[in-house]
Amino acid sequence: MTRSLAANRRPQTTGRPARSRWAAPARPVWEEPPGRTGLAAKGAVLVLACLAVLFPLWIVVVTSLSTKKTITETGGLVVVPRDITFIAYQELLSGGQVTRAAVVSVLVTLTGTVFSMTVSILCAYGLSRPGSLGHRFILLTLMATMFFGAGLIPTYLLVQTLGLTDTYLALILPSAVSVFNILVLRGFFMGVSPELVDSARIDGAGDLRILWQIVMPLSRAVIAVITLFYAVGYWSAWFNASIYLSDQNMMPLQNVLIQLAQKQEIPVGLGQAVKAGNLSGLAVQMAVMVLALLPVAVLSPFVQKHFRKGMLTGAVKG
Amino acid sequence: MTPNAVSTDSRRSTPSRSGSGQSRRGFLASTAVAAAVAAGGAPLLTACGGGGSGSGKKDGTTTGKDAAKLLPAFVASTVVAPDIAPKNGSAAGFTRAIPGAELKASVTGRRGKGGALTIMAPFWGPPPAPDNPYYKAMNEAIGVRATWQNQDGNVYDQKLGAVLASSEIPDVVVVPGWNLGGRIPSAVDAKFEDLGPYLSGDKVKAYPNLAAIPTDAWQRSIFGGTLRGLPMPASYVTNIAPFYRKDLFDAKGWQLPKNADEFLALAKEITSAKAKVWACGDMTWTAYNMFGVLSGSDKALGWNLVDGKLVNRIETPEYLEALEWTRKLFDAGVVHPDEKTQNQGDTGNRFTAGQCLIYNNDLSHWYAKTSEQAARNASFAMAAMDIPGHAGGLPKLWATNPANIWAFIRKGSSKAVIEDALAVADFTAAPYGTKERMLTDYGVEGVHHTVKNGLPVKTDKGNQEVSSSWMFVASPAPYIAHPDTPEVTRAMTEWQQRMGAVTSKSSFYGMTVTEPSRWTGLMNDFEQLEKDIVRGRKKVSDMQQAVSEWKTKGGDELRDWYRKLLDTNGSAAS
């Protein structure tokens, strides 16, 4: 026993792998626990990857907090913080314009997301049930819209004819439903065990009850992901407002932020230049980016845990 | 009278952006535009109009004689004499503020009939609130009830396309030249009113400020053989100035270069990467001017008759030489390293920071940067160097468009609406030194501006409400007026005059040419290719290959098409 153990150990102590390990590996090398070097390399790669993401964000935040003097001296983007000032944020948030636009954006995002999710879930559930009336035709029709768009002018004419221009509905209805999102939801719903659905049906549950009490609770991951997709879409949207709205008081946050960022690029006279003092156009632009990113950055971690599962399911089923 | 950089000449590039990421599309405001699409591909020459009034269709058979019938008579304004008279195509210069009591009236009484007008115009920045005191004051002074629809300037072309396709077109629509893409030129012909019956010949004399708009600008306002646009005139002298840090040049005793080789040698002397100082930004545009490359600001301007043959700028040896020379600058390491990556920061910021001592940009930057730095760097001084000829001596420059923004009046508008719109235009085209100009640029004294040391300075309310959009309806002959920095005003005007003296007009100068749609995208890839070549990512021979492909894919046919146009209409250049 002792001899045999020693014999087994020998190849390892001499650094030669046992022949049997090469011939029939128990599992692939990448599934082996990494050694110290491997761990260090992995850690380094992850740190670098994080830095690659965080460094630009750092620059954005620091530049937004910099004075005009600092920005001029660095010739643009600031890496090392100096003379921190919140003047760019004060400029953006004073006057009530941004506050009003933020309220508009929040309301549009909430209403739009609820509406979009309701329509998408109902549609996806219908399409996921085998044998539902005309589901193949409806599915193909929906998919056709992914490849053939009407174009801006026909869409504008439709929105105008429906009397939606200069209404908040113009910010929601034209982009309310994403066929891609419906397909992802449908793929997930189709994976719900048919036995569960059948037993619920035997117990007398109708489709709405099955959807609400069986399918949706089992699909929280994908619903969270799609909700995020829609919410980010509504929050970030600016083009529809540019095209369909003329009333400045109705503009959502993104449009107002774009306008404010542009304002800072307009040259001013001596009087204004003195008055503007520490305010830099670039700082305002960076502050605009921070404000626009903030809600998404805050929201994302809460749905992050669902993200992988939700996306993977949508990707492999359909 | 506008310390706030108000001068019609510098405003022509309002939407331009500085920095290495600047594109000719945004900057020169018309490159991407020039080739507009004509429905059915029929050749349209809109500068030389004649006949077909209101039909919206022209087949390019009009002549200069017919155009003369359409053009308004020119009656120079004598209300206020400029401090620096325009010369060689330059703007007029006004170096002093004119006290309120001395302001003249260029319009007698209220010209408007009190009607309601909707005006749609692009806007960059937060638009003023509707019904604000400034709008009210303007409406009151003109005698109209104008309501503004200020649209995001960045997506204005798309908004314009949608609105022009719909049945709800505002009474007055502002159309910048750089938005004349796709089907918009056809829509301009079809959807907007013929102003000939109101303005052609001596009829314009009923509107004295419109009569003082230069004829070149009116010629550019003929669309589809009909006078349709109210122009915002601009100097035709190149607006791309090579700026240098005069304070640092003087301190170091550097002499301005007199040719391309001297420029490169000086750039090498200036550059010290260790000290984080580089000689220049991307100088491609200046290179084009130094080497005498035809204008790239408009597709039609890029063609010229040489020895009986029409040649395009991209076919000329000067074009390749300019690219080659700019590439040498990059190769020599004298260009700021951030310029190698497009859209990496703002060259203007690097210039004021002293990291890059020469850059080229719109002439209006002279005033903008000077006033910006006055408060923080007392020793800061900049100037524009005279563009040297590449081999020494004087350069050969090419004229740009004398107008590139127009206002149009909706077709089918009543006579009262048209006359109200013309009343607005006559008011906003008032020259410097008039009450009308002062109100348009500065709003109401005490509300929108105050007078300090004889200079009007806008209040916060003025900055919020006084909108440059009114200028888009019509503007006076180009002028530069920055009375807070008279020396800059003088220098800008005189630079234009010197450059204007060596400026020539190419064969299609002053014409608004609508190319057939099948050739619209022929030159789409050239701008990026130019950037890749000067940055060393592609070879100059790649450009020769691209030009060869351009010829076979339609460039030669396009040449024939332009030739036919020229043979039929003659050149508008004088």
CA distances, B546 to each of A188, B296, B313, B521 (Å): 50, 17, 13, 14
CA of A157: which chain B residue's CA is closest?
A: B166
pLDDT tens-digit readout, B153-206? 888 999 999 999 998 899 999 999 988 877 888 889 899 999 999 999 999 999
Find the mean pLDDT for residues B458-485: 90
| Across A71-75, A89-93, B106-110, least confident range | A71-75
Q: Could you tell me the CA-to-CA distances from B40 to A151, B57, B58, B262, B517 in Å, in that order? A: 20, 11, 11, 51, 8
Q: Which two tokens stand for residue B140?
A: 């009151």
- pLDDT of B20 strictly over 80: no
Q: How confident is the model at residue B458 (pLDDT cuts 50, 70, 90)?
A: confident
**Which of B149, B166, B367 is nearest residue A157 as measured by Cβ atoms?**
B166
In B, residues 344-383, which contact A (CB 8 Å cutoff)? 345-346, 349-350, 352-353, 355-356, 364, 367-368, 371-372, 374-377
CB A195 within 8 A of CB A287: no
Average pLDDT score over chain B: 86
Banded model confidence at residue B24, pLDDT cuts 50, 70, 90: very low
Confidence category of residue B109, pLDDT binned at 50, 70, 90: confident
Residue carrying the six token digits 């809109």: B46
Residue A35 has pLDDT above 80, yes or no: yes
Same domain, B371 and B232: no
Domain match, B477 and B529 both? no
Which of B149, B350, B367 has the CB atom closest to A76's CB atom?
B350
Mean pLDDT: which of B50-64, B239-253, B465-479 is highest? B239-253
Please check whether residue B574 lies inside any domain of the structure.
no
Tell me, yes or no, whether B407 and B395 share the same domain: no
Helix extents (H) in B273-316: 284-291
Looking at the structure, tell me whether residues B287 and B436 fall in a common domain.
no
Q: Which of A157, A259, A274 sits opposite B165 (nearest CB)?
A: A157
Residues B460, B530, single domain; the answer is no
The answer to whether A157 and A205 have CB atoms below 8 angstroms apart is no
Percent of chain B at pLDDT > 70 equals 87
* Nearest residue, CB atoms, A248 vs list B5, B129, B165: B129
Instruction: Note the pLDDT of residue B402.
Output: 94
User: Is residue B121 located within the same domain as residue B261?
Assistant: no
Both B385 and B306 in one domain: the answer is: yes
- Whether A71 sits inside 8 A of B349 (CB atoms) is yes
Residue B416 lies in a domain: yes
Q: With a cut of 90, say whether residue A22 has pLDDT above it.
A: no
Domain at B58, CATH number? 3.40.190.10
B36 falls within a domain: yes
Res B42 pLDDT > 50 = no
- State how far residue A243 is from chain B, nearest Cα, in angstroms: 5
Class of domain A95-263 as given by CATH: mainly alpha
Residues B120 and B256 in one domain: no
Q: Is pLDDT above 90 for B474?
A: yes
Q: ipTM of the predicted structure?
A: 0.72
Yes or no, beta carbons of A269 and B482 under 8 Å apart: yes
The structural domains of chain A, with segments of one domain joined by +, span: 95-263
Q: What is the pLDDT of residues B159-169, one digit of tens each?
A: 999 999 998 89
Q: By the CB < 8 Å criterion, does A202 face chain B? A: no
B85 and B215 both lie in a single domain: yes
C-beta atoms of A72 and B376 within 8 A:
yes
Residue B493 in any domain: the answer is no
pLDDT at B494: 97
pLDDT in tens, A111-147: 999 999 999 999 999 999 888 888 889 999 999 988 8
Q: Kindly state whether residues B326 and B427 are assigned to the same domain.
A: no
Q: Given an 8 Å threshold on Cβ–Cβ distance, is A153 in contact with B4?
A: no
Least confident range of A87-101, A193-207, B187-201, B442-456:
A87-101
Domain residues for the domain of B212 are 10-236+402-482
pLDDT tens-digit profile of B532-572? 999 999 999 999 999 999 999 999 999 999 999 888 877 66
Q: Is A8's pLDDT higher than 70?
A: no
pLDDT of residue B101 exceeding 70? yes
* pLDDT tier, A91 (very low <50, low <70, confident <90, very high otherwise): confident
Cβ–Cβ below 8 Å for B125 and A260: yes
Structure-token pair, residue B2: 């506008």
Cβ distance of B372 and A268 shorter than 8 Å: yes
pTM value is: 0.80
B25 touches chain A (CB under 8 A): no
Looking at the complex, does the CB of residue B20 fall below 8 Å from at least one CB of chain A?
A: no
- Cβ B159–A72 below 8 Å, yes or no? no
Residues of A in contact with B21 (CB under 8 A): none
Q: Is A54 on the interface with B (CB under 8 A)?
A: no
B495 is a domain residue: no
Looking at B73-77, B126-130, B479-483, which range is the least confident one? B126-130
Q: What backbone torsions phi and psi does residue B45 show, to the nearest 5 degrees?
A: -115, 110
Q: What is the DSSP string of B40-106?
A: GG--EE-SS--S-TTT----S---HHHHHHHSBPP----SS--SB---TTPPEEE-SPPPGGG-B-S
Q: What is the reported pLDDT for B3?
A: 35
In a domain, B270, yes or no: yes
CB contact under 8 A, B5 and A263: no
Query: How far is the C-alpha of B215 from the C-alpha of B148, rounded, in Å?
Result: 28
* Element housing B383 (H / E): strand B382-384
Residues of B in contact with A274 (CB under 8 A): 374-375
Q: Are residues B201 and B262 in the same domain?
A: no
Q: Is the pLDDT confidence value at A318 over 60?
A: no
User: In chain A, what residues touch B125 (CB-CB under 8 Å)?
Assistant: 259-260, 262-263, 266
User: According to the model, what pLDDT value does residue B12 have?
Assistant: 41
pLDDT tops 60 at residue B5 = no
For the segment A221-249, what is each residue's pLDDT rounded down to a tens digit? 899 889 989 998 999 899 999 999 988 88
Do B199 and B232 sit in the same domain of this protein?
Answer: yes
**Nearest-by-Cβ selection for B345 from A72, A76, A273:** A76
Is the Cβ of A83 closer than 8 Å to some Cβ of chain B?
A: no
User: Is residue B399's pLDDT more than 90?
Assistant: yes
CB contact residues (below 8 A), chain B span 491-550, against chain A: none
Which pLDDT score, from 0 to 100, does residue B342 have? 67
Q: Chain A within 8 Å of B150 (Cβ-Cβ)?
A: yes
Do residues A286 and A64 lie in contact, with contact meaning Cβ atoms separated by under 8 Å?
yes
Instruction: Count how many domains chain B has.
Output: 2
